Every structure is written in C-alpha cells, then in structure tokens.
C-alpha cells in the first residue's frame, strides 16, 4: 500500500455566531467536502466540474467531470464514492436522468447511452450503443408526460441545440436538432469573458440543463468561461420544451463572482426530498491549471411570478441542510461571522511564495505552504479576543505534488488547539 507525504498547505476560515441554530441542525460549507480526484495528467491538481445531481430511489446521485467515478448520498451531506469499469468516467460533463424505473447516463463525446437500476453498486448496462448525436455537454430531460428531450452544445461560435428522443426506439432522436441560443455580450453583459466581464473575446456558452415547474420550462446554460470568477448560469423560460424561449430579466440567476471561492456555472438544478430547490455548480480555482475546479451547492427557489433565483450571498459560509420544506431560502443561513480574515498569523515554516497571511486572506486561489510535510509543522492565528467558535473550515491546496488519479493513499491529519493566553 503506497502512502504519499506532501508539503503542508492550508487555507483556513474560522467562524463564530451571532445567532445559533437548533442543536440538531446540520450545516455544510462550499466548496463541497468531496474526495476530489487528482487529474491523470500534468500538472498534479484536483478537479471536479460540470455536475449533475438527480434523485433516484431515495438517493441523490452526483456525476461530475474527470472524477473517476460518481457519488451518492441520502442527505446531500455525506457522500459515498462509486466506481465502475462500465461508464466512460474520463469524459467531460456527464448527464443523468430518471426515465421510468431506470437511471440513464450519457457523457460528452460518447455514442453510448447507459442505464442502471442499481447505481449504488456500480452496475450499469449499455442501452443504446450507437446514439447518433456525439456532442459536448449533454443534458437528458424527462417531461412529466414521459417524453424525453436532449439538449447539448459547448462553443464560443455555435448555438446550443435541443431535440426530442424516441422512448420507444432506444432514445434515438426524432427529427433534426433545433438551434436555441448563442452568446450575446452586447445585450447580456454577464456573458462577457473575464473575472470582471471585461475581456473582448467571444464567450463559451455551454452546460444545458432544463427543469419544469408549473407548466414552464426553465432552460439553463453557462457562461462566459469555466476559469473565470464570473462563471454563472443564466436561464430562458418557455411554455414548450423546445421553445421558443424568453430570456429572464434577472440573469444570471445563479452567480458567485466574489468571496473565498467563486463561480457557480455549468451545473444542474433539482428538488430535494422535501421539495426544496438546489443548484449545484462549478467553482473555479484555475491556478495550477485552467480546469482546477471544485463544486458548490446553493439554495434556489422560484417565486410567485415564476422567477428562478438563487442565494449565493454567503455561498461559502456554513449553511443549514434542511430536513423539511422551508418557506424562505434565508432560513438556511446561520448568522455566523468570519473571525480570521487578515488576522496576524505565524507558522513553523513557510515557502517564500506562500507566506502565512495567505492562509487567512479569504481567497482560495492563494495559500500558505510549510517547507515540509513533517508532523511538527504548525500554523497559528491570533483572533485578538476570546471568541465562541462554531465552525472551522479547512481547505488543503497540496503544493507541488506529483500525485495522479486515485492511486495510493493521501491523508491529511491535523490537530486544532486553542489558547486564551
């Protein structure tokens, strides 16, 4: 059994409270706490992106790009990892949908549609081995009448497309795909590339996803590019699954351009077991590689006027995971304040380009690194006053690793201590 030692690198947030949730309330924090896989190629870095979550047989199934497998959970908090030799797990942007009694799967650039009635145990079978539409960023959608539709596209030139699939003929297309939308930076400023939407090139419009609510179809898409903090999802609305679609005035309906971890684009929107709406999206780091990314889970809702909107204001602070139907998204906030931001820090050692203050600057793109991965390395921060601590968020950046895939064991061990003097 192979073990790996790495340089100790860390980003920490320490949070206290002005209001306290019930003792049994469970919280989570973005980026999601998952076993993000190291990519198979240089440079060594972790990645997960373009996520899909679907509810099937009382479990939530999470599929994401380049993860070497997928996850399932019964509560959206604790995730179990599953791998299988059947699925094309190295393809980008997988989609999944419940059709009848089965869970169906399709990944980008694949001709094979798979299905499973036991995904928790990794058992899949080929359903259609010659699907004619080889495309990027696929999305399968099952309507309430049982009809199935397929949406796809990822381009800075071409539009996004949609077509109905034949449920009686291996989900093959019925007719020709219909073009939907393209980038429009002259009218949609958020689609302009750049962290601050200030670059002149054409945006990448991608990541189709569709939901139906009270007879309306919400066609969601991502832009302007996965490496930008401005990465977000917009939405068009229609009375038909194939349009015509009308651009929503509150676009992008989910975005997180600032904070500790930024980005919320190319994701999926779903309802939990209690009827609450959520959006899981892609959060950018993009330091070691443009595709160095994480996943974020954000509460969303649809108001009485049919407007789809999200809550990302404190999207990287702890949020309550509800156990019932909530009336207002803000019920999920805990009212905790960040205590460690830019506070004085000391460490046992530091690399020149990774000083201690980068552990507490509220920026996932920067971090502190010790000179070694030895057990005697330490990091401390002075909060300036006695505080009640309700949460500590620890993110590891893994500086200068040579790790690839899921081979061997990489474990982080740390001890948290406090002192008032």
Question: Is 197 within 8 Å of 189 (Cβ atoms)?
Answer: yes
Give me the chain's average pLDDT, please.
93
Question: What pLDDT does residue 2 have?
Answer: 43
Strand blocks (E) in 158-292: 161-166, 172-179, 205-213, 216-223, 232-238, 246-247, 262-271, 277-284
Where in the chain are the domains? Answer: 1-15+336-421, 20-334
pLDDT of residue 237: 98
Residue 283 has phi, psi (to 5 degrees) of: -110, 140
User: Are 340 and 395 a contacting pair, CB within 8 Å?
Assistant: no
- Residue 408 pLDDT > 90, yes or no? no
Average pLDDT of span 328-339: 91
Say which DSSP state 90 is in.
T
Query: How big, in percent rounded to 5, are the helix, strand and coil portions of the chain?
Result: 5, 40, 60
Which of 202, 207, 211, 260 lies closest to 232, judged by CA? 207
Read off the DSSP letter of residue 107: -
Q: For residue range 185-220, what is the model confidence (pLDDT) as tens digits? A: 999 999 999 999 999 999 999 999 999 999 999 999
Residue 378: exposure state from Cβ atoms within 10 A (0-12, 13-18, ≥19)? middle
Decide: 370 and 340 in contact? Cβ < 8 Å.
Answer: no
pLDDT exceeds 70 at position 85: yes
Predicted pLDDT at 9: 60
Report pLDDT for 1.
Answer: 38
Q: 233-261: string of b/e by CB count within 10 Å (b at 16+)?
A: bbbbbbeebbbebeebeebbbbbbbebbb
Residue scoring higher pLDDT (295 or 336): 295
- Residue 269: name the closest of 303, 306, 220, 205 by CA: 220
Can you name the residues that pair with 213 across neighbouring β-strands? Answer: 216
Distance CA 21, CA 334 (A): 6
pLDDT reported for residue 235: 99
Give per-residue pLDDT as tens, 238-252.
Answer: 999 999 999 999 999
Nearest CA-CA partner of 27 in 390, 347, 421, 419: 390
Contact 203, 158 (CB under 8 A): no
> Looking at 7-11, 156-160, 340-344, 389-393, which range is the least confident one?
7-11
CATH number of 20-334: 2.115.10.20
Residues 6+ apart with CB under 8 A from 265: 207, 222, 223, 226, 231, 232, 233, 252, 254, 255, 281, 282
Look at 117-126, 363-372, 374-383, 401-410 and tell me which has the smallest mean pLDDT.
Answer: 401-410
Q: How far is the C-alpha of 402 from the C-alpha of 165, rounded, in Å?
A: 44
Q: How far is residue 387's CA from residue 44's CA, in Å, rounded to a whole number?
A: 38
Q: What is the pLDDT of residues 4-58, one digit of tens each?
A: 444 556 666 665 644 445 557 899 999 999 999 998 999 999 999 999 999 999 9
272 vs 12, which has greater pLDDT? 272
**Helices then strands (H, E): number in the chain?**
0, 31
- Torsion 374-380-386-389 (CA) sign: negative
The CA–CA distances, whole Å, from 301 to 7, 196, 231, 295, 310 equal 42, 26, 20, 19, 6
pLDDT band at residue 134 using 50, 70 and 90 as cut-offs: confident
Backbone φ and ψ for 189, nearest 5 degrees, come out as -60, -30
């Amino acid at each position: 059994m192979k073990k790996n030692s790495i340089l100790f690198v860390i980003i920490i947030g320490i949070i206290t409270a002005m209001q306290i949730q019930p003792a049994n309330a469970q919280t989570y924090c973005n980026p999601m706490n998952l076993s993000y896989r190291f990519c198979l190629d240089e440079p060594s870095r972790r990645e997960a992106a373009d996520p899909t979550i679907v509810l099937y047989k009382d479990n939530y199934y999470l599929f994401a790009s380049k993860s070497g497998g997928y996850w399932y959970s019964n509560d959206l908090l604790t995730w179990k990892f599953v791998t299988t030799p059947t699925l094309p797990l190295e393809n980008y942007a997988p989609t999944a949908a419940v059709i009848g009694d089965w869970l169906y799967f399709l990944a980008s650039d694949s001709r094979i549609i798979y299905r499973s009635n036991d995904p928790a145990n990794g058992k899949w079978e080929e359903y259609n081995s010659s699907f004619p539409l080889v495309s990027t960023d696929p999305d399968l959608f099952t309507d309430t009448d049982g009809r199935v539709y397929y949406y796809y596209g990822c381009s800075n030139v071409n539009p996004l497309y949609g077509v109905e699939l034949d449920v009686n003929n291996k989900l093959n297309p019925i007719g020709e795909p219909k073009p939907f939308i393209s980038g429009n930076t002259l009218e949609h400023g958020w689609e302009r590339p750049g962290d601050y939407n200030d670059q002149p090139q054409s945006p990448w419009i991608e990541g189709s996803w569709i939901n139906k609510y009270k007879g309306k179809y919400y066609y969601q898409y991502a832009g302007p590019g996965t490496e930008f903090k401005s990465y977000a999802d917009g939405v068009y609305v229609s009375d038909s699954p194939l349009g015509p679609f009308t651009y929503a005035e509150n676009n992008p309906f989910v975005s997180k351009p600032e904070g500790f971890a930024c980005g919320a684009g190319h994701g999926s929107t779903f309802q939990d077991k209690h009827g609450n709406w959520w959006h899981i999206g892609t959060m950018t780091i993009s330091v070691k590689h443009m595709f160095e990314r994480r996943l974020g889970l954000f509460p969303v809702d649809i108001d009485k006027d049919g407007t789809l909107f999200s809550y990302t204001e404190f999207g990287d602070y702890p949020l309550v995971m509800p156990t019932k139907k909530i009336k207002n998204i803000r019920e999920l906030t805990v009212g905790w304040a960040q205590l460690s931001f830019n506070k004085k820090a000391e460490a046992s050692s530091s690399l020149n380009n990774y000083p201690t203050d980068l552990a507490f600057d509220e920026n996932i793109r920067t971090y502190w690194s010790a000179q070694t991965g030895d057990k005697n390395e330490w990091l401390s921060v002075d909060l300036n006053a006695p505080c009640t601590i309700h949460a500590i968020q620890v993110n590891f950046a893994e500086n200068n690793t040579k790790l690839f895939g899921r081979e061997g064991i990489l474990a982080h061990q740390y001890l948290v201590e406090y002192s008032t003097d």
